[in-house]
Amino acid sequence: MERFWVITASADHAAHGRAEGIVQACHGKTAPLRRMRPGDGVVIYSPRTLMRGGAPVMAFSAIGRLAEGEAWQHDMGGGFVPWRRGVIWQDAQPAPIHLLLNRLDLTRGQTSWGMVFRYGHRELSRHDFALIARAMLGMDKAQPDPHISPVNAECEPWASFF
């Protein structure tokens, strides 16, 4: 059964990962990547443009699914050898989180919502992943129809990207 994940990374790191078809989590640690399986959905939340500063972004900046294969290490020089996984990234637009805060199970009703992203990697519900995917893929122009379940993958247009 597929699972869904959010990884916190700066916008420049997200762009680099998209360009290379990879994802890293938690400064290159292996444990988060080993919890993920091929076919799982993954989204990157970018609080800022740069890892140590930059302008605020506060948006979901990349979305895709885990490719076949296991995590591997990559030597980036200077003794930094982070773990990576392959991702099939989708052509998508950033989705500002402020438009989704009160609709996501992850953040609804939380005054300190940014804390949920602090640890860099966590599982998302199918509902939350669907909302984020619809926003990033341009399918969320209006409020959702309350009579249509956003968790029914067979009826959701975003499901076709899997």
Tell me the CATH number at 16.
3.10.590.10
Q: How confident is the model over 12-33, as pLDDT tens digits?
A: 999 999 999 999 999 888 899 9
pLDDT at 134: 96
Strands of 9-156 (E only): list them.
Answer: 22-23, 41-50, 53-66, 72-73, 83-89, 95-96, 121-124
- Statement: residue 5 has pLDDT above 70: yes
Q: How confident is the model over 47-85, as pLDDT tens digits?
A: 999 988 899 999 999 999 999 999 999 999 999 999 999
pLDDT at 74: 94
pTM (two decimals)? 0.85
DSSP helix/strand/coil, 67: coil
pLDDT, averaged across the chain: 88
pLDDT category of residue 159 using cuts at 50, 70 and 90: low
Contact present, 130 and 156 (Cβ < 8 Å): yes
- The number of folded domains in the chain is 1
The residue count of the chain comes to 162
pLDDT category of residue 94 using cuts at 50, 70 and 90: very high
Domain that holds residue 28: 4-161
Q: How confident is the model over 102-123, as pLDDT tens digits?
A: 999 999 998 899 899 988 999 9
